[in-house]
Structures are given as C-alpha cells and as structure tokens.
C-alpha cells in the first residue's frame, strides 16, 4: 500500500484512434474522441477548454473580494472569484490573473502567489484553472468598461472565514470559489 502523502494524479495517454470536432464555438469547442482503452475502445465527448485563472484577493483587513454575475447555464447569479480564460496566445497564467483582477475589479496587487490548480470537471472538459492569492491591493490606474454579464457585476468584500462558512453551509456553490477560499484560509493560517 503506498504512503498516502505519495498519492498523486498520474498522466496516462491512451492511443487516440480518431478525434473529431463536433462543434466549433466562439470560446471553446466540443470534441468526440475514439480511444483505445484496455482491450477495447471507448468514445468520449468533451469540451476542449483553453484553461482559466481565478484570484483570491485579500485586503489588509482579511476580507476576500467576491463578485456576483449571471451565469446562463445554471440560471443563477452566483458568487465567484474574479476569473477569466487563458485565451490570449502565450499569456502566462499569472499575467492572466493580474489582467482579470484589473478588468473585473479595477484592482492591482503588490504580492502574488500560486494557491492551487485544479481541473474543473475532468469527466466533461479539459479545463485546468490556476488560482492565485493576491494581497497588497490598490486601485488600478484605470476603470475597465464592462459589457454583457460583466456589465452588472456586484462586488462584495467579506471576511475570509465568513466566505468559508458560506461555502460549507451551502449558501455559495461555485466550485472555484469553494476551492479558492478553502485553500486561502489554509494557506494563510499556516
């Protein structure tokens, strides 16, 4: 039996026999792959995703920045962290996180560090999201124009512990928010 601390995700690259573009979208695509697996073949459809970043922004009072915006697939205005796609060719995740914090919250941060990276729904898409902790916050030099769902973003600051409580009590359901505030609380505690 392996030592529990040694357990980790392991790359596995089966032979892809066929890969078809089922739908080419504006932001991401849907693919259908036929794969040799074990003694047979399997067919899987999934969203081919560019990847994303999210930011746990903590102010000097220990409060976390939350944004609320409409998400059509779930028909909710859910609470989230500032986040966005890795959709600029060659842009590093940290640079994308800095861009997203400025675009969605008109903030910059003096200190940045990686917090956690996670696949959002590995059975249905290839999205890897990189979550960063941002501190030493200050207003951005300019305010960004927002449109569509971002036009009516609601911004709230709440104590980090209260955000963790809201997640654990089932009042906030966003997966990235959940992972981000739990990881931030653990990281800042020790």
Q: Which residues are catalytic?
A: 150
Cβ-in-10-Å burial (0-12, 13-18, 19+) of 117 comes to middle
DSSP string, 55-120: EEEB-TTSEEEEEEEEEGGGTEEEEE-SEEE--STT--HHHHHHHHHHHHHSEEEEEEEEEEEEES
- CA dist 153 and 165 (Å) reads 22
60: phi then psi, degrees, rounded to nearest 5 = -65, -15
Query: Burial, 160: exposed, middle or buried (Cβ in 10 Å; 0-12, 13-18, 19+)?
Result: buried
HSE at residue 28, side-chain half, CA atoms within 13 A, is: 16
């Amino acid at each position: 039996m392996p030592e529990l601390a040694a357990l980790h995700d392991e790359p596995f690259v089966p032979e892809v026999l066929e890969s078809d573009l089922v739908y080419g979208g504006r932001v991401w695509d849907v693919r259908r792959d036929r794969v040799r697996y074990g003694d047979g073949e399997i067919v899987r459809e999934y969203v081919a995703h560019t990847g994303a970043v999210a930011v746990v922004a903590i102010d000097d009072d220990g409060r976390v920045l939350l944004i609320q915006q409409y998400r059509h697939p779930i028909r909710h205005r859910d609470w989230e962290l500032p986040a966005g796609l890795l959709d600029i060719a060659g842009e590093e995740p940290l640079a994308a996180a800095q861009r997203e914090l400025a675009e969605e919250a008109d903030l910059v941060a003096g200190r940045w560090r990686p917090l956690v990276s996670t696949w959002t729904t590995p059975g249905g898409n290839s999205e890897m999201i990189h979550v960063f902790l941002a501190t030493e916050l200050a207003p951005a030099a300019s305010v960004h124009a927002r449109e569509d769902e971002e036009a009516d973003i609601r911004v709230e600051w709440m104590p980090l512990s209260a955000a963790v409580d809201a997640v654990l009590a089932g009042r906030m359901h966003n997966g990235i928010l959940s992972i981000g505030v739990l990881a931030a609380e653990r990281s800042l505690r020790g």
